[in-house]
Amino acid sequence: MFKKLLLIILIFPFNLAKAQENYEIQVYGSGTMAKGRTMFELHSNYTFDGSKTIEDGVLPTNHVFHETVEITHGWTPWFETGFYFFNTLGSDGRSAYVGSHIRPRVAAPDTWNWPVGVSISFEFGFQKAAYDANTTTLEIRPIVDKQWGNLYVSLNPTLEKSFVGPESNQGFIFSPNVKLSYSISKVVALGPEYYGSTGPFFHYYNSSDQQHQIYLATDLTFNPDWEFNAGYGWGLTNSTDKAVFKLILGRRF
């Protein structure tokens, strides 16, 4: 029954018809936190070249630090829950607590022996209107990944829904994320990460209004209890922040 339910959940979002904000810039892998363990992560992102004027009541992102605390606990071998606390640091009154999200996630258990890793998360929460015009949102994130030798691929065909804000009447926004990495040693892996937002299914935004970012990222695996990811991203459209540095540091307990 659980297997059938997970398959239905994974298929359903694609029949539904904004890129990940600069708080948690991450392409997720399919694995969940081990039962009884907790991960504390700090997402630190700095926008070197972002928006410079107030738009729709949202403060500019240029020269701002985004600091997000993420706490994830594993309840079973295939179920975890994550909590996010978003913060921003910047001049001209832009330093503040921004909002919080909760993210339950279920994964296909290893005992199913699927050829790829599969999981899905549902992230719901709020953020202040000064930092995101859509103040109450839901994110549905299917995750499919695979390791071939030294090559790793992860696909996150994400769907986002606003319940309060200018996009609340637009249905689900398609925001695909993709990660490729190649292990050049037992410790270092390098590769690109892509983050996009193309608009509602069948009613896509004009190309100039879509968001597309490419990051050159590295992952370091120096200890199984630690997580390290860093990268530099370039925005490819006018509506995307042009230059962002990101750093994720996590510790499992």
- pLDDT tens across 181-231, in order? 999 999 999 999 999 999 998 888 898 889 999 999 999 999 999 999 999
Q: And the tokens for 216?
A: 């050159």
State the Cα–Cα distance between residues 219 and 188, nearest whole angstrom: 6
State the Cα–Cα distance between residues 226 and 40, nearest whole angstrom: 10
- pLDDT tens across 232-249, in order? 999 999 889 999 999 999
pLDDT score at 11: 39
- pLDDT tens across 94-121, in order? 999 999 999 999 999 999 999 999 999 9
pLDDT score at 222: 94
pLDDT score at 114: 97
Residue 21 has pLDDT above 80, yes or no: no
pLDDT score at 56: 86
State the Cα–Cα distance between residues 177 and 159, nearest whole angstrom: 10
**Residue 166 identity (one-letter amino acid):** P
Cβ contacts of residue 252 below 8 Å, gap of 6+?
33, 34, 37, 38, 39, 224, 225, 226, 227
Q: Are strands 211-220 and 243-252 parallel, antiparallel or unpaired?
A: unpaired
Mean pLDDT of 119-141: 97
Pair 39, 227: CB distance under 8 Å: yes
pTM for this entry: 0.89
- pLDDT tens across 48-66, in order? 999 999 998 999 999 999 9
To 5 degrees, how large is the angle CA 66–CA 224–CA 116? 85
Mean pLDDT of 12-36: 74
